[in-house]
Every structure is written in C-alpha cells, then in structure tokens.
Structure 1
Amino acid sequence: MRRTILFALIFSLGLALAPLAGQEAPPVIHGDILIPDTSLEARQDIGIRSHTNHLVLLRPAGGLGPGGGMSPTQLRDFYNLPATGGHDVIAIIDAYDYPSALSDFNTFSASFGLPQETSTNPTASSNTVFQVVYQGGKKPRTNAGWALEAALDIEWVHAMAPNAKIILVEAQSNSNANLYAAVDLAVSLAGVKQVSMSWGGSESSGETAYDTHFNINGPSFFAASGDTGGKTIYPSTSRYVVAVGGTSVATDANGAFTGETGWSSGGGGNSPYETKPSWQTAVSMTGSGRGVPDISSDADPQTGVAVYDTTRYQGRSGWWVVGGTSVSSPCMAGMVNLGGGTFTNTTQLLTAIYANYLNPPATPAFRDITSGNNGFPCLVGWDYVTGVGSPQGTAGF
C-alpha cells in the first residue's frame, strides 16, 4: 500500500511540475527507484502525447542476470515456458531513435544464448532476427529515455520468443499521431502477428476514436496497464487491446520461483469511456466499463529484469535493472507468439483468454494471484490488479 501511495503521489507531482507540452521534465528519484522523465506525464499532454511505463532500480537486485536483474531463463521458468520457439514477426512500437539498438540487441542475446542478428544494417528488410523501421521514412532524433524503453522492449520480447523476428518501429515523436501512425505501419509489415506498446497516457473522452487502429484483422495488440496503482491508461483500456498488468515475483537463494503477488503500482480499474466487451460480461467487477488488466506478469522494479542499453541516460549506460508494466507488455506479446496461436485479431485472443479463465482446463492455464494490492485488492479469480492472473505455459492462448 505504501508504494501505491508513493506512485500516486509521483503521478500527481508529475502533472503539477511538468513543463510545457512537448518539453522534457527532469526524472524523479525516490529511494532506490528512478522514474525516467519519459515516464512522467505533463497535464498538457493528456490525449495528445504518450509516456513510457518503465522504472529503473538503482541498486543491485536479486535476480541471476547482470546487476541482479532477472534473466530470461528465470522468467521462462516462472511461467513454465520452453527455452526455444516463436514464429513470424513481433513488432515493437516506440518513439524516437535508439541508435545502438542492433549492437545492444546482439550483446543482450549473446549474454543469454539467444539468436543474434548477423546483418550490420539495422534497417535491412532481409534481416531475419532484428530490424528497425522508421515511421516517418527517416531516422528520428535520439531520446535516451525512450531508448531505454526500446532496449527493454526488444530484448525481452526476444527473450520470450527467441525464434520470432523482432521489428522495432520508431515513431518520429511521442505524439499520439506519430505513435498510431507507427502502429499502422507495423500492421502493414509482412508476417507481423503481435504488436506491443509499452506506452500510454491518461484516459480522455476522445480516446475511442483511436480504437480503429486496433479493431482490425491481422495482429494482436498488447499494451502496458501503467505504473500508477488503481489508475487506467489508454491504449491498454481499448476493447481491442490486451491490457497487461504487473506482478512481483519472489525467489529463493538459487533464483527459483517461490511465489507471485500483485504489484502495488500496477495500473488497473474500469475505463470511464470504453464499454465492457462481451468477453468480460461474465467477470465480476465493481464498475460497468471495460476492466483492466486482462493478464499480468513480472513488473515490479524490485524484481526487475536485466536490460542492456549503451545510449547514455542520466550518466549511465550498459546493464540496467528495469521494471514497470513496460516489462510485462512485450513479455506477454512474446509468450503469445511462443504459443503459436492462429488468432486473426485481438478479440479472438481475448475471447480465448477469458474462456480459459472461466472454464479452466484440467491443468489451469493461469496462476490465480490472490495476494497484493494496487489500491484494489487481489482476489480469488479476476481482479483489477492482475486480471485473470499470470500464464502457466501457453495453453491459455
């Protein structure tokens, strides 16, 4: 509860002290957590620009990766996933340019025994493991906070689906117009089966107009539920997007899984603008709108993941320990890709997830998380902290 209050205060502080729209705010440091400037929202940006949802742990953590970040093997073990697999293409949507994307992606991959991209040209369409595409047809300017977001996204979607090709689509800026143009571009790329968006912004009355970008046949869409407990953000509240929430994992001295609770700062609640979809009608909720999240995985920065990024930010570069629902969104996109499902749109995927929750198979597809609080309590069954819970293998997809 203390951390939920902390991040609610930080959100309020960000709105109160943020600069004019489009300008960068200073990062916020509280204890051992750094909240990047790109993860703060200016009041003037609501409905116009989006922010990242990643947080940096400034001390060594307890995972088995560099700096004590969780390793790919650990997360795969937490969620009963195989070490290999994946198919077709996963698109990651981020803003601005990440100049060291290819080399950092390969360093991360080499560190954990994952496939590497052999091409030295990040934008070559013939690349088989990793590629960069520019939304505006030209390289955007660099933004170090967004570069760290992109590093997290491309590395951890790759960690979950090692044999899928990863395409980073770089929007010219974090304006919603550019970000959704990048989404449209991703949809047009051959072979894209999943699209992950680790960004978002406070809900606003005009948001449903953006739903047309996701209410299409083609890939499935995933979005971070946000890093302010009990608060909702768009596009995760779209009826046509899988809203991915956050958990906190516990491990023993050997790094093995011992438990999972709801993350106190994970976003959740009912949308005031999006109506409840048919696949949620049988789920018990306190509100009448679309409820989020749908599903969750590790996001607590205290149990954050190892990320490699050499684009210097706040005087640092190299290995980082990063958390936030910016972790869980690409991880979930990779998990669904790993499952090899033949969904032709997000509605089909969400219908399957809720069907497997409401009528569980003999071996449950999801881990029901009943401990934790983000302003809402974790409950037996669906809740506003973790949704249906966390995946156990890929049977739920």
Structure 2
Amino acid sequence: MQLSTVRRALAAGAFLGISLIVASATAQIKAGGGTVTSSTPGYSAARLSGQVLVPASSRPAPTDTGKKAHTNVRFITPSNTANPLFPPPYSGYPYETPGSLACWYALAAYTAGCNPLSTSLAVSTGGSKTIAIVDAFDNPEAAADLAYFSSQFGLPFSVSKFHVVYAGGYTPLLDSSGGWELESALDVEYAHAMAPNANIYLVESYDNNYTNLMAAVQEAINIVQCGNFTTTAGACGASPTGYGEVSMSWGGSEFSGQTTYDATFATANSKNVVFTASAGDEPGPIWPSTSPYVISVGGTTISRSLTNGNLQYEIGWDDGGSGRSTVEAEPSFQSSIPAVHAIANGVRATPDVAAIANPYTGVYVYDTFPQDYYYYGDWYIVGGTSVAAPVWAGVLNYANNANASWPVSTQVELTRLYNTSTNATTYGSAFKDIQYGFCNYYMSTRDTANWDLCTGLGSPNGRNGK
C-alpha cells in the first residue's frame, strides 16, 4: 500500500493556493473591508432558521448490526435568508469556532464569554506527534478544505503535516448516499483545531464494512507507532517510539462478535496509541465506544446568550449516546472507583468523557464535497458526538505533549482520567463537571456531580490530569 503521489501533489498545490487566497480574504474581513464583517459582542444574536438533517450515513439499517458502521453526525440546513455561504464568523450567528472552543476548553488564552463572534480569540497552538483519523469512503477535497478552514480561523498549518492514506492500497469508494465526506471533513478540521501542530493522517477505509474499517484502524496504529507512513503491522517493533491518537467517530449497535475486534485495540497491539470513539447520537451504548480499550466520548450543549453570543453554560446533550454495555465486562479503571462501580455494576459503562455535540449549538465545518444534501453551500453547522471524538483526540494530543505524559496505552490514559475524580482538586483542574441535563432511554438518567452516564467525567479543562 502507498500514498497516492499524484493526489498528494494536487492536494499540496490546493493547500498553498487556497491558503494564500483565504489569508488575503480573511485579512480584509478582519480589517473591516469587503461586504462580510464579523459581529461585535453586544449586538443581538440572530437565529439560523432551518432543520437538523441526519445524513444517510447516520441512519443505519437493522441489517447493518455487526456488519457496517454508521457516522454520528448531524447538521443544520440553513434557510435561504440566513446561510453560511460566507466565511464565519459572520454577523449574529455565534456557532462554535476553533477559537471559541480553545478558549472554553482552556487550550488558549481565556477571554470572557469565549465569544465566537469575536475575531480576536486566540486559537490553540499546541500538539505534536500524530493523530490518525479513521473514516470510510473517499473525500477527495479533504486536504484543500483543511487548508481553507485553517486559514479562515488563523490556525497554524503546514502542508507537510496532513496526509491521506488509502487503507489496503485501494482507492476508496465515494459515499453516494451522503454523509461520510462531511464526517471526514469534520474530523480532520477539529482534531487539527485542538492540536494544530500534530501530524494528521486521514486513513480512508474502502467502505463502511467493519472488516475494512478495522483494517484501516490497524494501519492507523502502525502509522502512530512509527510516527510516519508505513504499510507493515508491527513495523516499529515491540517498543515503538511513535505516540499519538486514533479517532473514530463511527460505530453501531453492540453485537456478539465485537470482542473479537477489541483485540485490535488491546494494549499488546496498540502500545503508545490512545483511541477515542463517539458514544453515539441516540439513547443506549454503541461499539466501538464500549470497548474497554477505547475512550468513549459523549456529547454536550454549549449555551450562548441570545443577546450577545457570550457563553452561559455547558450542559448535557439529551441525544448523546450513553448506557451500560450488554457485551463488555466492567474494566478496572471503572471498577476501582466506587462511585463509578456503583453505576456500572459489572459491565462497561459509557461515556468516559464528553464535549460539544448538539447541532443546534454546533461547530463550523468547511466541506466542498457534499453528497446528496439538500443544501449546496460549503460551510455547515455540524453536531453529533462525531464532533466530540476528534475534539478529545486533539485535546489529549495537546495535553500529552505539553505534559510529557505520552501513555503506553489507552487504558493508561483512562486510568489517569478516572483517577482525577477521586480528588476534588485534581478533578476540578482536569474537567468541567457537567451537572445539568438528561439522557438515556425515556430521559431516565440525569447529569450529576463527578462521573455520570450522560457526560462521563465531563468536558476538558485544559491539559491537566491528561
């Protein structure tokens, strides 16, 4: 298997050309030139009319269980009178940006309100090593879109730090039904937003069949362990020197054969690799988020003032996936914490952590390769726990590098995260405790202090405890 050299060359050209164009346009916008201007905090925030659309990729068929994965992504379909056809942030629409998230999640300098309408918010400048994003199908515009996105939001960017890999050496199919290309655009853009100095590999599976996706996961492991592109499993030996994260925003209902796939994530096969996986966008747990070798990432809502767009609260998202596994046993990092064990009660409970996911308070994503959508713009307001998983992958990359605390496995990282909850000081410095919201079937479970079934330990609070 090898990288497509022709495609990589084209992508590099697109990166450089688009970056120059957008940099110029962004400079005009920030200077007040042209017709697109950013809103100033204090002005009334407008409401983006429209509906939340769930693409085909996020609508599994009953026959998919145990065979095919689906995405966990939703987006807002704008009205004709207010749509994100112009570069954000634009007047009156305080949806989340790399700067607003870096502000709130303490990856950059804090500015009161963490207002996404402001063009003066600092962005994250952290990250190192490798983040591998595993998705199905091909997104031929992923490279150019990431360049445009980075330039628009002032993110550090280098053409040499983004790579597309065709898992197995086969050019992936296009997702004609729609959704996976938006997924991959979202994943690479927000992993990069949190850790812009990390090397990012988009590993594309031929399709969304679990067999092919897990083969892509294995290639992602190889890449992280070696710190560069490789085609051979175990190429870096029993003591690899590469470190990083593998983000998976896909999954599906649990099934009896999932524990066989768990072996790919197990410590013996994935030293120095931390996995994040979306917890799902509906009540109940999904796999691979329930794997004991994966960090399960649930969803939150970021509440902003209708008056000026300033942040008010972060609460649980009622559609976020959560619950107790029907297949996986309770792992030691949960059973060793009495308050967690009392709820898990012998089985794997999810999620472990959480981050922004509600599409009504979603993030800006740039995607020029939409398939079968009812809207033909390039900027999308996107939500789902598909946002939260790459955000956490980026946060962990930033934190592990800054703290020189690269773990030897996901379970080391999970143990570290859960252990913070045993001490109020360490917990408060590591997490934003989400204490309001409801989730699970019939909205039967509520967010409470410390760990809970809706948002796990909470959302990230900088690099402490990670």
TM-score, scaled relative to structure 1? 0.86
The number of aligned residues is 358
Q: Are the aligned partners of 1:357 and 1:366 in contact in 2 as well (CA < 8 Å)? A: no
1:134 aligns with 166
1:81 aligns with 107
Offset at 1:258? 1.6
1:393 aligns with 2:462: yes
1:69 aligns with 95
1:137-186: CA deviation from partner (whole Å, max 9, x where unpaired) = 02212224111000000000000001111110000000000000000001
The one-letter code matched in structure 1 to 2:210 is N
1:203 aligns with 2:216: no
Q: Distance in 1 between matches of 2:433 and 2:370?
A: 39
1:56 aligns with 75
Aligned to 1:364, the other structure's residue is in SS state helix
Offset at 1:84? 0.9
1:113 aligns with 154
Offset at 1:358? 1.8
Runs of 4+ in 1 over 6 A off after TM superposition: 61-64
Measured at CA, do residues 197 and 286 of structure 1 come closer, stay the same or move farther in structure 2, by a change above 3 Å?
Answer: closer
1:194 aligns with 2:249: no
The one-letter code matched in structure 2 to 1:246 is G
2:230 aligns with none
Residue in structure 2 matching 1:225, options 262, 279, 285: 279
Q: Which moved more, 1:345-354 or 1:282-291?
A: 282-291
Aligned to 1:316, the other structure's residue is in SS state coil
2:60 aligns with 41
Which structure features the higher share of helix residues? 2
Q: Distance in 2 between matches of 1:220 and 1:264?
A: 27
Q: Are the aligned partners of 1:93 and 1:179 in contact in 2 as well (CA < 8 Å)? A: yes
Offset at 1:90? 0.2
Offset at 1:205? 1.2
2:287 aligns with 234
Q: Are the aligned partners of 1:366 and 1:390 in contact in 2 as well (CA < 8 Å)? A: yes
Q: Distance in 2 between matches of 1:364 and 1:115?
A: 27
**Over the residues paired in the alignment, what is the CA RMSD in angstroms?**
2.0
TM-score, scaled relative to structure 2? 0.74
Which ranges of structure 2 fall in alignment gaps of 5 or more residues?
1-49, 109-123, 228-242
Q: Are the aligned partners of 1:69 and 1:320 in contact in 2 as well (CA < 8 Å)? A: no
Aligned to 1:349, the other structure's residue is in SS state helix
1:384 aligns with 453
1:269 aligns with 2:323: yes
Q: Are the aligned partners of 2:181 and 2:370 in contact in 1 as well (CA < 8 Å)? A: no
Q: Distance in 1 between matches of 2:167 and 2:436?
A: 42
Q: Distance in 2 between matches of 1:182 and 1:249?
A: 33
Q: Distance in 2 between matches of 1:367 and 1:71?
A: 19
Offset at 1:61? 9.3
Offset at 1:327? 0.1
Offset at 1:257? 2.3
Which structure features the higher share of strand residues? 1
Measured at CA, do residues 68 and 361 of structure 1 come closer, stay the same or move farther in structure 2, by a change above 3 Å?
Answer: closer
Q: Are the aligned partners of 1:76 and 1:160 in contact in 2 as well (CA < 8 Å)? A: yes
Residue in structure 1 matching 2:391, options 320, 331, 335: 331
1:187-221: CA deviation from partner (whole Å, max 9, x where unpaired) = 11132510000000100111111111111312100
Q: Distance in 1 between matches of 2:450 and 2:155?
A: 35
2:360 aligns with 302
